[in-house]
Structure 1
Amino acid sequence: MSLADDTTEDHGDHGGHHLPAVEDWPRGFGEASWWPFVTAAGAAGIYLAAALFVLGRGTEPLVGPMVGPAAIIAGVVVFLVGLYGWLYHAFVVNFWEQGTDEHGAGTLRLAMILFLVSEVATFGAGFVYYFFIRAGEWSHEGLPHLLSSLVLVNTGILIVSSFTLHYAHVALRKNNRTRFLQLLGLTLLLGVVFIGGQVLEYYEFIVNENFTLAEGAFASAFYGLTGLHGLHVSMGAVLLGIVFVRGLKGQYSADRHTSVSTASMYWHFVDVVWVFLVVVLYVGATL
């Protein structure tokens, strides 16, 4: 979405690319700023499909047994189409098109904020589920030691990555491109290390601790929330990777940095969500 901004060259034929996301859609909006909402609608459809799948099970199903699976496929398709349109138009098309003006950049930042609001609702639904199951009788039986040194180190890595990204953006606004690329590259590296740490944590829990989804309601909430967050960090790492490549090609300056700004908003959001996850899931489960 909001990362279409920053090149000043106009190569006219878009490098031979004539894909749907390049078009002005909906007509009159100038940028494909509705793609994030299509993505969010697809994600919401997946949650709805999961509910339909549950309603289609049991001895007296409320819907047909194939309604849920069909809705899941439809939700995934809408989600992927929206994600394609968003990322392609935001990150790729401007390799060949002139960037947005100041008004357009502000609109794109607003679109990112609205998208993050929908993300807050998505994570909020997961937390509501977790708080609901915590409202009943609670037992620590079967739970592994959640608050390990690995979790603490991983949390520190993600927090540090927020600072390195912030100061990378500051350096760019001061036209210090070398420092910008160094700090942005460090941020990307820290993000990849965090993802690796979460994979290692899952391995420890599932293989060594035998803590799987079959362990009950807490396990489903734990893997659902941490897995959803891991997916968001992975997507954030992809966005930062594209921004880094564009930075290497000299497409950012002190005056043109909407892509960096909006990618930073997304990355800081997933960092804050992780801190909240640690407090609620890891610390809260032991109390």
Structure 2
Amino acid sequence: MGTADDTSDDGGGHHLPAVTDFPRGFGEASWWPYIASVGAAGIYIGAALFFMGHNGASIVPAIAGPAVFGVSVVLTLTGIFGWLYHAFVANYWERAADEHSGNMLRFGMLLFLCTEIFTFGAGFVYYFFIRTGSWSGAEIPPELLSPLVAANTVLLVVSSFTFHFAEVELRKDNHRRFTALLGVTLLLGLVFIGGQIYEYNLFIIHEGFTLTSGLFASAFFGLTGLHGLHVSMGAVLILIVLARAVMGQYSAERHTSVSTVSMYWHFVDVVWLFLVAVIYIGAVAP
């Protein structure tokens, strides 16, 4: 795995983060991506176990799904943190700016986003499959398309603009505006997550619309929950970038981690627009 903003010149023929990575003694090998991948796979296994333990099936204990899901989320975040820390943060000041390494990391992010497109695409295919089948629309909650959805959409779209202009200010070496706009982006993202939690609370507690309420419910909570997880991870990434910005670890020449996180954030923004068009507006459309 290449380094982020910079490349180590340690004289030993290794590229960071390998020389300080986990586990030690494995040369260029890094296990952090594998830890994150195992955790991500466990999230889907936990979801499957949840369905196996509900709806009268009781093939596995009801607690098995939530337990595996929770452990997998922690494992995924741990792997991502270790990966990002050693790629972007460790020994930062000892590295020199390297445009080639930066381009390689951006290309790696593009490949990662391609896999995410397939992940969300599978969910959309499932939704289209049930929509063209025995679709009655009876299980759709009456408040599905609400002002809350519109407000959340505006918040996320605006956050993409604030992130974009934060990058513009960074390339001008205007660190104060860069940091301020990055903070606004993080705040908008957190408010969006809070809005989605509030929406789930309305559906689950007040309307009895849950994951097991039917085919549409499984598609709705599956896709919006997956997107919410991505937004949450994006918020963590922005928080890391913001902390580094406060420490003065970026300049017009050293900003690869900012641009890669920006790519990720714009991606989750576009996915949300598709979700609103397909899951929210499309569900209530005749």
Please state which band the TM-score falls in when normalised by the shorter chain: 0.7 to 0.9
Q: Aligned residue for 2:14?
A: none
Instruction: Find the aligned partners of 2:83 and 2:169 in 1 and give their Cα distance.
Output: 27
Q: Aligned residue for 2:171?
A: 173
How many corresponding residue pairs? Answer: 271
Q: Aligned residue for 1:132?
A: 129
* Deviation (angstroms), 1:81: 5.5
The match for 1:263 among 256, 261, 264 is 261
Q: Aligned residue for 2:15?
A: none
Instruction: Find the aligned partners of 2:91 and 2:242 in 1 and give their Cα distance.
Output: 15
* Deviation (angstroms), 1:43: 2.1
Q: Aligned residue for 2:21?
A: 20
Instruction: Find the aligned partners of 2:80 and 2:207 in 1 and give their Cα distance.
Output: 36
Is residue 218 from structure 1 mapped to residue 205 from structure 2 by the alignment?
no
Are residues 280 and 37 of structure 1, via their aligned partners in 2, closer, same or farther at CA, if it must alter by over 3 Å?
farther
Instruction: Find the aligned partners of 1:230 and 1:268 in 2 and give their Cα distance.
Output: 14
Instruction: Find the aligned partners of 1:154 and 1:190 in 2 and give their Cα distance.
Output: 9
Q: Aligned residue for 2:162?
A: 164
* Deviation (angstroms), 1:75: 6.5
* Corresponding letter in the other structure for 2:4: A
* Corresponding letter in the other structure for 1:117: C
Report Cα offsets for 1:8-52 as digits up to 9, x if no partner: 9x9xxxxxxx86349697x558xx6x8557634642454367668
Q: Aligned residue for 2:228?
A: 230
* Deviation (angstroms), 1:76: 6.3
Instruction: Find the aligned partners of 2:177 and 2:204 in 1 and give their Cα distance.
Output: 41
Looking at both structures, which has the greater relative contact order when contacts are Cα pairs under 8 Å and sequence separation is at least 6? 1
Contact in 1 for aligned 2:179/2:242 (Cα 8 Å): yes
Q: In the TM superposition, what are the counterparts of 1:48-59 in structure 2 within 5 Å?
A: none
Q: Aligned residue for 1:43?
A: 40
Are residues 56 and 223 of structure 1, via their aligned partners in 2, closer, same or farther at CA, if it must alter by over 3 Å?
closer
Instruction: Find the aligned partners of 2:154 and 2:94 in 1 and give their Cα distance.
Output: 39
TM-score by length of 2: 0.80
Are residues 276 and 100 of structure 1, via their aligned partners in 2, closer, same or farther at CA, if it must alter by over 3 Å?
same
Instruction: Find the aligned partners of 2:257 and 2:249 in 1 and give their Cα distance.
Output: 10
Percent pairwise identity: 61
Are residues 2 and 153 of structure 1, via their aligned partners in 2, closer, same or farther at CA, if it must alter by over 3 Å?
farther
SS in structure 2 at match of 1:214: coil
* Deviation (angstroms), 1:116: 1.0
Instruction: Find the aligned partners of 2:24 and 2:244 in 1 and give their Cα distance.
Output: 22
Instruction: Find the aligned partners of 1:2 and 1:260 in 2 and give their Cα distance.
Output: 16
* Corresponding letter in the other structure for 1:209: E
Is residue 5 from structure 1 mapped to residue 5 from structure 2 by the alignment?
yes
Q: Aligned residue for 2:104?
A: 107
* Corresponding letter in the other structure for 1:20: D
* Deviation (angstroms), 1:181: 1.1
The match for 2:114 among 106, 114, 117 is 117
Are residues 56 and 230 of structure 1, via their aligned partners in 2, closer, same or farther at CA, if it must alter by over 3 Å?
closer
* Corresponding letter in the other structure for 1:226: T
- The two structures, once aligned, show a CA RMSD in angstroms of 3.5
TM-score by length of 1: 0.80
Which structure 1 residue ranges, 5 or more long, are not aligned? 11-17, 58-63
